[in-house]
Structure 1
Amino acid sequence: MRRDTFLKSMAALAATGALPLSAWAAPNVKMMIPANPGGGWDTTGRALGKAMTDGKLADTVTYDNKGGAAGALGLAQFVNGSKGDPNALMVMGAVMLGGIITGKPPVNLSQATPLARLTSEYNVFVLPASSPLKTMKDVVEQLKKDPGSVKWGGGSRGSTEHIAAAMIAQKVGADPSKINYVAFRGGGEATAAILGGNVTVGGSGYSEFAPYIADGKMRAIAVTSAQRLPGINVPTLKEQGIDVEIGNWRGVYGAPGITPEQRKTLTDLVLAALKTPAWADAMKKNDWTPAVLSGDAFAKFVDEEFASLRATMVKSGMV
């Protein structure tokens, strides 16, 4: 039996629970994380890798962090350096789509192979504890007076927090093309800027700011979900009269040029990892919402997200 066929069969059995995870024999996985250490993609990629190794789904997982340009630098390295590699994975998500729309890089996500969406996470907006502003209402009032005086800090241009900031400006009657957005290459840089008072408002996935909110170093003023997040007493933007809702989903892609059989094998490997205790622990620890979607359905979702994000960004004056 060919190795690809064997792995495909084993993955299918493991994913359905018909085969113990310990019986899985898998290759050495290479994980491209197109961001600096410390952010959401890094956390997601390493949690997925740990689930694979802890669940005996992969012998080893190696990680390559390549941050910059909303993931476009890592995407370029992945597309150009992993062609035909059936063991290569790349973490990606909504942020990458936004970055491609605004940055127009020479490589395209369509050159890689869509595998699965994993999670969704809503953004939280925070103020430094020392800020004279106390609420989102205070931020909005200043935004209306002078959009450029509110310095928004977050991920790369085109990130969900960038789009949300532009949408907030639009909804409250400020000029979204005049918002002052400061993009950071990784979650660690953004956190340092917020704690240092170098930005007015910070935005990111809740899990990245949770420790600082808990110890009082940041004040959470709004979340971008439709309802309040479970166990988190932070009002939504909609509760505060701002009709904005946006989620930050994350997924994984395979290398360009892999065969349909290799794609199925790799997808089954990822889906099996999502059934492990290690992944369940990561979901709970990071307050991620499961949003699993795979195969052609995931590919269609990405295409639709591209179109939706582009329309929103054009309307908000970001493109």
Structure 2
Amino acid sequence: MKQFVLASLFAAATALPAMADYTIIAPANPGGGWDQTARTMQAVMQEEGISKSVQVQNVPGAGGTIGLAQFASQNKGNPDALIVGGYVMVGAILTNNSPVSLKDVTPIARLTGEYEAIVVPAASPIQDVAGLIEALKADPGAVSWAGGSAGGTDHIAVGLIAKAAGVDPTKINYIAYSGGGEALAAILGNQVTAGISSLGEFEAQIQAGTLRLLAVTAPERLEGVDAPTLQEAGLDVVLENWRMVAAAPGLSDEQKAKVTADIEKMAKSENWQKQLSDKGWMDTYLAGPEFEAQLEQDVTSTEAILKDIGLVK
């Protein structure tokens, strides 16, 4: 009888799906939004018992397209490999004429959303958006902007700001950095006129008083954020930077379902929700066919915006 019970328990245990040891690719340098997202996933998935071991690897360059290409080519059929991406990557794929796109991986879910913030160094003579636009109109090339990769959310936002202000968006002086840490260093070092990135990447410096927050790209004022929207400042620009997670290409339906279930468990955990709150990230979780449809729509609309502001032909 005892042997039967032990055999039954062993059979039940072995029937359970094995816990994956995930590797998450953050296709940018440490310090930026993708890196933060990957490392937050790492912590929560381990703490929630979704995975015993989660490794994060940084593969920076070209708006995430270098990491995407490496991920797609090296992990076909590997259910333990994940990559974070988002709106920035959609634009970078188009502007870099990347031979690999999000169609070459397995999109799993949209995870978070965050609005852009426009900042200047605390010592800057520019006090508000009006002052920044005045300088931009006087000489677009003299106003340098630090942000993420070319064609990404930050670049698109600057182009939209210029267009809304009546300035030729092809004349903007945008300096692309491959990681949030590098862009932040340039802004704090007064190497550029202004900086643009997701609000969370600047929050600590804004609170410390080393950066001045001029505006956000939200449709209405954000709770707890002492800054107007661009619309309040007279510029009709609203833009949200969203982030997603994808799995490797070539997964079976069963493998895809297992990865999706793990990500859903993470996204719905109290631990993840606390991380979102602490970091000021919005919960934009969306998975399945609804996410795939939304992703296709976002790719189409991003291409239209990039053509409109002269970043792609």
Q: Which residue of 2 aligns with 1:217?
A: 210
Determine whether 1:189 maps to 2:157: no
Q: Deviations over 1:244-302 (max 9, x none)?
A: 00000001000010011111110110010112232122101110000010011111111
- For 1:306, give the aligned amino acid: V
TM superposition score normalised by structure 1:
0.92
1:231-246 maps to which residues of 2 (within 5 A)?
231-246=224-239
Q: Which residue of 1 aligns with 2:223?
A: 230
- Determine the C-alpha separation between the residues in 2 that align with 1:284 and 1:53: 19
Q: Is contact 1:4–1:265 with CA below 8 Å preserved after alignment?
A: no
Q: Is contact 1:51–1:274 with CA below 8 Å preserved after alignment?
A: no
Task: Flag the 1:141–1:257 CA change in 2: closer, same or farther, 3 A.
Answer: same
Q: Is contact 1:148–1:179 with CA below 8 Å preserved after alignment?
A: yes
- Determine the C-alpha separation between the residues in 1 that align with 2:120 and 2:200: 16
Determine whether 1:165 maps to 2:158: yes
Q: Which residue of 1 aligns with 2:81?
A: 88
Determine whether 1:58 maps to 2:28: no
Q: Which residue of 1 aligns with 2:6?
A: none
Q: Is contact 1:117–1:250 with CA below 8 Å preserved after alignment?
A: yes
Alignment size in residue pairs = 302
Determine whether 1:33 maps to 2:29: no
- Determine the C-alpha separation between the residues in 1 that align with 2:12 and 2:57: 29
- Determine the C-alpha separation between the residues in 2 that align with 1:2 and 1:153: 56
Choose which of 198, 201, 210 in structure 2 pairs with 1:208: 201
Gaps of 5+ in 2: 1-10
Q: Which residue of 2 aligns with 1:175?
A: 168
Determine whether 1:71 maps to 2:64: yes
Residue 185 of structure 1 aligns to a residue whose secondary structure is: coil
Determine whether 1:255 maps to 2:248: yes
Shift of 1:5: 8.3
- For 1:60, give the aligned amino acid: S
Q: Which residue of 1 aligns with 2:125?
A: 132
Residue 232 of structure 2 aligns to a residue whose secondary structure is: helix
- Paired-residue identity, %: 43
Q: Which residue of 1 aligns with 2:37?
A: 44
Residue 256 of structure 1 aligns to a residue whose secondary structure is: coil
Q: Deviations over 1:113-156 (max 9, x none)?
A: 01000010001000011111111101101111111111011000
- Determine the C-alpha separation between the residues in 2 that align with 1:4 and 1:163: 50
- Determine the C-alpha separation between the residues in 1 that align with 2:153 and 2:183: 14
Task: Flag the 1:3–1:121 CA change in 2: closer, same or farther, 3 A.
Answer: farther
Q: Which residue of 1 aligns with 2:98?
A: 105
- Determine the C-alpha separation between the residues in 2 that align with 1:2 and 1:175: 66
- Determine the C-alpha separation between the residues in 1 that align with 2:149 and 2:86: 12
Q: Is contact 1:4–1:261 with CA below 8 Å preserved after alignment?
A: no
- For 2:65, give the aligned amino acid: A
Runs of at least 4 residues off by over 6 Å: 1-5
Q: Compute the RMSD of aligned alpha carbons.
A: 1.6
Q: Which residue of 1 aligns with 2:275?
A: 282
Task: Flag the 1:257–1:171 CA change in 2: closer, same or farther, 3 A.
Answer: same
Determine whether 1:316 maps to 2:301: no
Gaps of 5+ in 1: 8-24
Residue 240 of structure 1 aligns to a residue whose secondary structure is: coil
- Determine the C-alpha separation between the residues in 1 that align with 2:15 and 2:154: 42
TM superposition score normalised by structure 2:
0.94
- Determine the C-alpha separation between the residues in 1 that align with 2:298 and 2:273: 27
Determine whether 1:198 maps to 2:168: no
- Determine the C-alpha separation between the residues in 1 that align with 2:30 and 2:274: 20
Q: Is contact 1:4–1:262 with CA below 8 Å preserved after alignment?
A: no
> Which has the higher Rg, Structure 1 or Structure 2?
2
